[in-house]
Structure 1
Amino acid sequence: MHDSQISDVFRWSTESLPRSQRLDAYAETLAKSLITVTTRSPDKNSFQCEMSSADLGTLKVTTITGSTKDSFRTRRDIAQSGGRVYHLAVGVGSWKFVHKAGVADLAPGDLVLIDTRFEYSSHLPEGFSTRTITLPVDWLHTWIPDPAALIGQCISGQSVWGSVLSSYIASLAPETAVNPPLPASLMIDQVGALLAMAASEIPACAPKAITGQAEMRRRIVDCIRQRSTDLPLTAADVAASLDLSARTLHRILALGGESFGAILLDARLEVAARMLRAMQFNHLTVAEIGRRAGFLDSSHFSRTCLARYGRTPGKLRQEQGLHQK
C-alpha cells in the first residue's frame, strides 16, 4: 500500500493491497482522512481506489478516484464521527446523491453541499473522480448564514455562477493547496464568495437586497482598487477599513454578480498594464512589475495577463515600445 506524506499532500492507494482487503482498507482510510461511511461495491475483489488530500488554510481538499461504489452515511456512522463539518463535492462524471430532501442526479461538473450531521448516500460509477472541499461550520455560516435550504440540492455546473464555482473547485487539487499561486486566504475567500453566488441562483437561497447597496458597492470597489498593490490584501482587510463585516462585503458584491477576487485581479492587471506601457518602468523586469502590481507568482501573472489581454506581459511591453519609437 502506498501511504505517504509528500510535500504535505497525503496520498493513498489500494494498488499494493491484497484484493480482499482493499474495500475495508479504503473505508478505514476514508474515515481517518475525510468522513465515516459504510461503503459497498458490486465486486469487492476488483475494487481499486486512489486518494489524495491537503489542507488549504482552514479548508481541506480531497480527490478520490476509483471503482464503482455506493456509500451510505448511516446513523451509526454519524455516532462514530467527530465534529460536524460541511462538504462541497463535485464529480468529473455523472453520479447520484440521495438525501432527505430527495434525489439529486448530478451531471459532470454539478456540485452538492453536504451536512455531515445527516444521513445520505452517494452512488458513483466505474472510473469515478470526485473532489471534495471540507468546510468548517463557522466559516460557511459567514458566507451563507442559513445553508439548510442548500443542503442536498444540485448546484448546476452549467449555471452562470455554478460553472465558475465548478471550474474553480476543479482547479483546487491537493497539489495546488500546498503550493497556491495566490495567498491561501484569498483563495479560501474565493471559495466562499463563489459558493454564495452560486447559491443565490437557487430560488430558495436567493439573498435579499441591502439598503444602500449601490453606494456601499462603490466604496468597496474604490477601496479594492486603491489598495490592490498591498501584499497580501484580503476581503477582511477591505471590510475592516470600511467598517463592514467580510460577509456583508461579499454579499454586496454577490448581489451585483461580482466577487472580491475578480475585482482585485482586474485592478492588479490594470496597474501592471500601466507600468508595462510606461517608459519610466523599463528598468524593471516583467516579474518585478508583476510583483509590484500584487502578483506573487510570475507564472500566474503571465497566465492572467494572457487571458485578459490576449498577450503575455512581455509582449505587451514589446508592442508598447514599438508604438512609442
Structure 2
Amino acid sequence: MNLQISPPTIARWSTDDIPPSQRFDYFANALTTAIVPMRVESGDPKLFTSSMTIADLGPVSVLRQTGTPHRSYRRRGDLACSGDHTFHLIVNLASPWTIRHREEIFLERGDGVLTDSNVTHDLHLARPYEVVHLKLSANWVHRWIRSPEQIVGKRLPLNSTWGRPLMAYAAQLSPQAVLGAPVAPSVIVDQVGALLALVASELSGSTRRWTGRTTQMRNRIEDCMAQRCMEPCLDASAVAKSLSVEVNVIHETLRMHGQTFGELLVSMRTNISVRMLTSPAFRLLSVSEIGRRAGFADMNTFSRTLRTRCGLTATQLRRRGHGLMI
C-alpha cells in the first residue's frame, strides 16, 4: 500500500542438502532466520526432513513449507528475540494439525490461522505437512485491519464467506508463482490485504454502512479503473494517485461494497476483451493482440481468465460473436 516492492528473489532451505545427523539443527536455524526464533522437537531427528522456499515482496513474504511431523513452539523468553513485529497467515494444504495461540484450535485442510510474533505458540504437526505461510509486517497489517488482535489465534475457516476466497487465493501462492506472475508484486500484496480485511470484518461481526460519500467514491474509483484498466501495470496506488487520495481509501471503499481491487480489475479487463472478440470491428486483430489491448500481461493469463470466467476459449467467443458454429 503505497510501498515500493522490489522484484522478488527466491531463497531455499532443504534438509536434502544436509547430512542426516545435522538436519534437525539446520531446520531449526532456518526457521529462526526466515520466520522468527522458535524451538523445534521431533520424535527422531535423524529421520526428519523438511524444505522451505521464500520470496520477499517487501511488506509480505511468501513461504512454502513441507516436511515430516514435528512440534514447533515459542515460550515467553523467545519473544524478546523476535526482532521486528510480524503477523503470520498460515494456510493448511494437507493433513489436519493443531496450534495453541491464545487458544487451541484444530485446522482442517484448507483452513488458516493468523498468528502474532508477540504471542507464544505451540504447533503440533502430527503428520506430513504442507503449508503456505505469509509473513506480514505489523505496519502493513494495521493499515488493513484496525484491530488484528480480534482474529489472532482464531480458526479462519475455509467454509466462511470471505475465508474461501482468501484461502483459495493464498493456496495458489508460492515463491515460484510470485516470481513468474504477470502482475506486479504490489497487486499480489494488495489482494492479500483486501481479502484479509474482509475476513477480519466478517469474523469480528463488524458492519459498515454505505453512505452517499462512499458510494460516490466507489463510482470515482470504478470510472478511473474503467479508463485505465488496459494499462498492464495498473495497481491501486496508481488509481489513488489519479484520484488524489490515500491508497487505503481505495481498498476500504471497495471492501465496504464487497469488492476487491484485483477482482474488479480482472473483471473489467475480461469484459473489454469479450467485447473486442465478439465485435466485427476487431476481427482483423489477433487474439493475443486483443488480450494485450485489454490489459493482460501475457497470453496464458488471458486464456486462463476467459476459460474460468466465460467457460469458452477466445476462439470460441470470437466464433460465437460472428455467428459461427462453435
TM-score (norm. length: structure 2): 0.91
Q: In the alignment, does 2:291 pair up with 1:290? A: yes
Matched residues in 1 for 2:24 and 2:155: separation?
A: 28
**In the alignment, residue 98 of structure 1 is paired with which amino acid?**
R
Q: What secondary structure does 1:201 align onto?
A: helix
**C-alpha distance in 2 between matches for 1:72 and 1:238:** 43
Match for residue 264 of structure 1? 265
Say which SS state the counterpart of residue 126 (structure 1) adopts. Answer: coil
Q: Show the 5 A alignment for 1:43-122.
A: 43-92=44-93, 93-100=95-102, 102-122=103-123
Could you say what secondary structure the match of 1:27 adopts?
helix
Say whether the 8 Å CA contact 1:41–1:68 is kept in structure 2. yes
Counterpart secondary structure, 1:80: coil
Deviation at 1:216, TM superposition (A): 2.5
SS in 2 for 1:232: coil
Deviations 1:14-59 (A, max 9, x none): 1243333221110011111222110111222221111111123532
Distance 1:250 1:16, change over 3 A: closer
Contact 1:37 1:72 in 2 (8 A): yes
In the aligned structure 2, how far is the partner of 1:77 from the partner of 1:305?
49
Structure 1 residue 323: Cα displacement: 4.2
Task: Give the superposition deviation at 1:209.
Answer: 2.9
Contact 2:150–2:204 (CA<8 Å) still a contact in 1? no
- CA change 1:16–1:234 in 2 (3 A) is closer
1:233 CA displacement = 1.4
**For residues 98-120 of structure 1, what are the alpha-carbon distances to aligned partners after superposition, in whole Å with 9 as ceiling and x for unaligned?**
122x1121111111111112211
Instruction: Trace 1:84-233 onto structure 2 (pairs within 5 A).
Output: 84-92=85-93, 93-100=95-102, 102-203=103-204, 206-209=206-209, 211-212=211-212, 213-233=214-234
Q: Percent identity?
A: 37
Q: Which residue is 1:250 aligned to?
A: 251
Contact 1:85 1:135 in 2 (8 A): yes
Question: How many Å apart are 1:255 and its aligned residue?
Answer: 2.2
The residue number in structure 2 matching 1:304 is 305
Which string of whole-angstrom CA distances, capped at 9 and with x for unpartnered residues, describes residues 122-160 of structure 1? 111221111111111221111112211121111111112
Gaps of 5+ in 1: 1-6
Q: In the aligned structure 2, how far is the partner of 1:281 from the partner of 1:210? A: 40
Q: Distance in 1 between matches of 2:298 and 2:11?
A: 24
Matched, 1:279 2:319: no
- Aligned letter for 1:208? R
Matched to 1:254, the amino acid is R
Any unmatched runs of 5+ in structure 2? 1-7
User: Tell me, what secondary structure is at the counterpart of 1:83?
Assistant: coil
1:155–1:199 contact (8 Å) kept in structure 2: no
4+ residue runs of structure 1 moved beyond 4 angstroms? none
Distance in structure 2 (CA, Å) of the matches to 1:28 and 1:112: 23
Q: Distance between the aligned counterparts of 1:244 and 1:146, measured in 2?
A: 23
**Quick one: distance in 2 between partners of 1:221 and 1:297?**
24
Contact 1:286 1:313 (8 Å CA) reproduced: yes
Tell me, what secondary structure is at the counterpart of 2:153?
Answer: coil
CA deviation map 1:234-264 (0-9, x unaligned): 1122233334322222222222221111111
Larger RCO (CA within 8 A; separation ≥ 6)? 2
How many pairs align?
A: 316
> How many angstroms apart in 2 are the aligned matches of 1:150 and 1:283?
53
User: Given residue 199 of structure 2, which amino acid in structure 1 is its aligned partner?
Assistant: A
- Which moved further from structure 2: 42-51 or 293-302? 42-51
Provide the C-alpha distance between the structure 2 equivalents of 1:77 and 1:20, rounded to a whole number of angstroms: 25
Distance in 1 (alpha carbons) for counterparts of 2:246 and 2:207: 16
Residue 4 (structure 1) aligns with: none
**Which deviates more, 21-30 or 228-237?**
228-237
Quick check: 1:210–1:252 contact (8 Å CA) kept in 2? no
The TM-score, its normalising length taken from structure 1, stands at 0.91
Partners of 1:57 and 1:185 within 8 A in 2? no
